[in-house]
Amino acid sequence: MYTTSRAAMSASSQQTNPSIASRAVKEGDPRPPASALPATLLARVHSVRPIAEGVVSIALRPASPDVGFPAFTAGSHIDLHLPNGMVRSYSIHSSSGESGQYSIGVLRDRSSRGGSSWIHSHLKTGDTIRISKPRNNFALDESAQRSVFIAGGIGITPLLSMIHRLRQLGRNAHILYCARARTQSPLLDALLEMAGDQLTVQCHFSDEARSNADIKAFLSGFAAADHFYCCGPSPMLDAFEAACEALGLPHIHVERFRAAEHGEQPAAGGQCVVELARSGRSLTIRRDKPLLKFLLEAEVEIEYSCEEGVCGACETRILAGEADHRDSVLSKSQKASNSAMMPCVSRCRSDRLVLDL
Ligand code: FES
């Protein structure tokens, strides 16, 4: 079985913010009706603390006693709804056993368009901010006897939460933690504190080694039955996937911060009919554009966030018909089954598509 995790994001460089999903308000965007906006929770910033050069850990707690933070599973992320209209997603690095608090890591992206730079410049202890409920597209397979992780810089955040969970389960794990320098290694101390019989930690700092980590050599010490997880910059993810394929390691899970390239042919032109089963409505739309645009124009209630096919917020069940999948969330087999789609980037392939909306 070839398992590709349905989630996480990776960055194009270690300076890239790991925001899983990011949606900036763009001029000319069709604005969603109020009913389309996702339900949010009001959180208070409990603490902001530096955890590496250009990286802060932000602990969020309910803003008032009537706000409940739902439990989350290891690998989850939340969206931050910033006052400047942007929505940015960040992985939770704290233990899923810790209730009433979500801790996230935020890297100040050198090419930030106002997301991570706003957070670093403005967000402080005591502030309130709207957040989404946790969502998990990068789930830990808790049945695996041994789990192997490769983290690139800020990519450690969801993996640390997974390692917490494996410790609770008494399972063995190994991690290769790569960064440009020790000073640019968020949560390294927290990781090293957990090292022991159940967890082996191998670090690779490019400035000390004067080379990049040999991912294939690291992976070659493990077995096909193990589960392998990688979160980091895109070149690292590409190297990880290539190494796993070459070594015949089938259980791989990656999280992408940015959408993967799609080399497929453009969708067929013409129109198709989209039936919305719950409301009984029917829309005749173009086949060469992502479905979300038409759903928002028709004021259909649907959650969305990144609009890049990476966060999973807009996942919609398909009841009949075939989608032209363009996302980086669903695995190959999930796409082939046509049981769900990400309408923010995916389109209609069949003449008729019935959705659970
Ligand atoms: S809005 Fe993020 S996958 Fe569709």
State which of 9, 89, 306, 347 you would mutate to test the pocket of ligand 1, scoring each by most atoms of that ligand within 8 A of its C-beta: 306
User: Ligand 1 centre from 306 Cα, in Å?
Assistant: 5
State which of 291, 308, 317 you would mutate to test the pocket of ligand 1, scoring each by most atoms of that ligand within 8 A of its C-beta: 308
Tell whether ligand 1 has an atom less than 6 A from the beta carbon of residue 38. Answer: no
User: Ligand 1 centre from 253 Cα, in Å?
Assistant: 19
Angle at 253 (CA atoms; ends 80, 332), nearest 5 degrees: 100
The ligand 1 atom at the shortest distance from the C-alpha of residue 342 is 4
**Residue range 67-83: mean pLDDT, rounded:** 94
Half-sphere exposure (CA, 13 Å, Cβ side) for 270?
A: 8
pLDDT of residue 95: 96
Give DSSP secondary structure letters for 188-239: HHHHHHH-SSSEEEEEEEHHHHTS---HHHHHTTS-TTSEEEEESBHHHHHH
State which of 78, 257, 305 you would mutate to test the pocket of ligand 1, scoring each by most atoms of that ligand within 8 A of its C-beta: 305
**Residue range 135-154: mean pLDDT, rounded:** 95
Whether pLDDT at 145 is above 90: yes
Question: pLDDT tens for residues 297-306?
Answer: 999 989 888 8
- Distance of alpha carbon 21 from alpha carbon 312, whole angstroms: 9
Instruction: Name every residue whose Cβ is closer than 8 Å to that of residue 193 and which is 6 or more positions away in sequence.
Output: none
Domains and CATH numbers, the chain: 22-131 (2.40.30.10), 146-255 (3.40.50.80), 271-355 (3.10.20.30)
Q: Which of 36-40, 113-117, 287-291, 301-305 has the highest mean pLDDT?
A: 287-291
pLDDT of residue 353: 96
Whether pLDDT at 334 is above 90: no
User: Ligand 1 centre from 248 Cα, in Å?
Assistant: 31
Question: pLDDT tens for residues 4-63?
Answer: 443 333 333 333 333 343 333 333 333 344 344 457 899 999 999 999 999 999 999 999
Greater pLDDT, 66 or 11: 66
Q: Supply the pTM of this predicted model.
A: 0.80
Answer yes or no: are the C-beta atoms of 56 and 50 closer than 8 Å.
Answer: yes
List phi, psi (to 5°) of 168. -60, -35
- Distance of alpha carbon 97 from alpha carbon 100, whole angstroms: 10
As a whole number of Å, the CA-based R_g of the chain is 20
